[in-house]
Structure 1
Amino acid sequence: RRKTFQASRSRMAQVQEQINDEVGLLIQAIKRVGEDGKVTFGELARDEAVTQTFEALLGTLKAARKRGFLDFKGELLLMGQHDNVMIELTGASPEEAPAAAAPPAE
C-alpha cells in the first residue's frame, strides 16, 4: 500500500511540474504576442505557435490565473464570443511561485 501512495505522490509531482512548464510557456507567449504583458484572448487563441503548443489553452489560462500569474474576467473563454477579453500578466513569474503543496505523509 505504501508503494501505491508513493507512486501517486510521484505522479502528482510530475503533473504539477508539467502544469508549471505549460504556464511558463503561456507567459512567454503572452509577452511575445501582446504588449506590456497584455493580450486579448482572440489574439492569443489565433496565434499559430499558441495553437500548436497548447492542447487546452483555457485550462492553462485557468491554471496560470489560479497560481497568480495572470488575470482575466470570466470563467469561460470562447473564440468569437470572448475575443476582446483582456488577459493581463500580474508580474509574478513561475520562479517566484511557491512550490505546490505536497500531499500529507503517511
Structure 2
Amino acid sequence: MKDLHDHQTADLLPEKRPRGRPRTGAAKTGAERQRAYRKQSRARDRANLNVMISVEARVSLDALARHHGCSLAEVLEPLLIAEKDKIVARIYATGAEAEQEAAMGAFFGTADL
C-alpha cells in the first residue's frame, strides 16, 4: 500500500483519462478520407454528378424520392437509362449500319475519336 503523503510514486497514482474517444493511432487527414471514399465509389461503379437544376425540378425529384421511399440517385438512374435505351432503339430501328454507327458515335460523344 502507498503512503498517503508519497506523491513521487507515479505507477500507483490514478491516471487521469483524457476526454473523448481513445486514440487508435491511425488518424487520417481529410484528403486521405476523401481519397478512400472516391476509391470505394469507383469500386462500386459509382460516379459523382453535380448539376444545377430548377427549383421546380428539385421539388419534383424530392417528391418522387419521398413517394417511392428511395434516394435521389435511385429516382434518376432508371429515368436516365430508360431515356438512353429509347434513343438507342430508335437509332438502330432506322438507317443503314454506317448511319447507325455514326448516330451512336454522335449520341455517346465518340464520333470524333
- Determine if the TM-score, normalized by the shorter chain, exceeds 0.5: no
Which has the larger share of strand? 1
Normalising by the residue count of structure 2, what TM-score does the alignment of the two structures yield? 0.27
Name the structure, 1 or 2, with higher relative contact order (CA <8 Å, separation 6+). Answer: 1
Larger radius of gyration: 2
Normalising by the residue count of structure 1, what TM-score does the alignment of the two structures yield? 0.28
